[in-house]
Amino acid sequence: MANPKGAALGDPFELVGDSPLGVICVHGFTGTPYEMRYLGEAIARAGHSVMGLRLPGHGTRPDELARTPWRAWADAVSNAVDAMRRQRPRVAIVGQSLGGLLALFTATERDDLTAIASLGAPLWLEGLSSYVAKWAVAGKLRRIPMLPKLGGPDVRDRRSKRENPCYRVFPTAAVAELAHVMDEVRGRLARVTTPLLVMHGARDHTAPVECAPVIAREAHAERMRVLPRSYHLIAIDLEREIVASEVTAFLRRHATA
């Protein structure tokens, strides 16, 4: 993945294209724009302008994320849409994990989006993660401000796993905020009318793959695709070329429609 001279892997990025469409790329929970850089560059090569957003509380220190309410994430995405609309008449959002949830949420809040793509978005969690989310929401983890991210980022590709500058811990207060976003989006899916692409890794250990058909069905997605080899961070995983091809084809259909 290319990186501008002097820029850190997790920095926000902007790429200029000449089509009428601008695309906001939104990374996942505890992640950075690194997770969307490869896909963003593919979108830019297709001729679209791209903004790789860094969500509030991310890419700095975990304690800052612990103090960030979920509405700040949603507002950052909406503000990015406003900024892109000053440059391009059409705007799409492509989000991975939490970014996918925020794309769906934004589509229920405003009617000026051209298209959205949800990549590995979780509507619920399973196993230990589900208990952590419930305990965090209930305030039972106040004495445990941080939990280790066991195994590191959920990506199968070795280089992406090694390079990914995500946090290596989960602030428990932020997990509670993530749970609020999941609940909010799940209750709003039927309100999504923006053209939607849903993609998910079949071997995702973070967001159950069963979330994908629920999103696709309730939000009336144009297309859903499950990738058989990928873990959670599909935009930088083994099948990232397929993700880039699917997303750019989807955006092409709506760039001037």
- Asked, for residue 4, whether it belongs to a domain, the answer is no
* H or E element that contains 62: helix 62-66
* Residue among 44, 59, 55, 38 at smallest CA distance from 237: 38
Q: Global pTM?
A: 0.96
Instruction: Supply the pLDDT for residue 173.
Output: 96
- Asked, for residue 128, whether it belongs to a domain, the answer is yes
CA angle 16, 20, 23 (to 5 degrees): 55
Under 8 Å CB-to-CB from 169, ≥6 apart: which residues? 30, 62, 146, 147, 148, 149
- Asked, for residue 201, whether it belongs to a domain, the answer is yes
- Asked, for residue 161, whether it belongs to a domain, the answer is yes
Residue 171: give the domain boundaries: 13-255
Beta bridge partners of 24: 51, 93
- Asked, for residue 18, whether it belongs to a domain, the answer is yes
Instruction: Supply the pLDDT for residue 48.
Output: 98
Q: Give pLDDT < 50 ranges for the chain.
A: 1-2, 6
Q: What is the CATH number of the domain that holds 137?
A: 3.40.50.1820
Exposure b/e, 206-237, CB count within 10 A at least 16 = b: bbbbebbeebbebbebeebbbbeebbbbbbbb
CB 12 within 8 A of CB 3: no
10-59 pLDDT tens trace: 999 999 999 999 999 999 999 999 999 999 999 999 999 999 999 999 99
- Asked, for residue 1, whether it belongs to a domain, the answer is no
Beta bridge partners of 147: 170
Is the Cα dihedral 154, 121, 93, 169 positive or negative? negative
Instruction: Supply the pLDDT for residue 7.
Output: 61
Q: Which 3 state secondary structure label does DSSP give 76?
A: helix
Q: What is the secondary structure of 174-231 as a DSSP string? A: HHHHHHHHHHHHHTTGGG--S-EEEEEETT-SSS-TTHHHHHHHHTT-SEEEEETT--
The number of domains in the chain is 1
Instruction: Supply the pLDDT for residue 80.
Output: 98
Instruction: Supply the pLDDT for residue 9.
Output: 86
Write phi, then psi, for 21 (nearest 5 degrees): -100, 135
Instruction: Supply the pLDDT for residue 1.
Output: 44
- Asked, for residue 79, whether it belongs to a domain, the answer is yes
159-171 pLDDT tens trace: 999 999 999 999 9
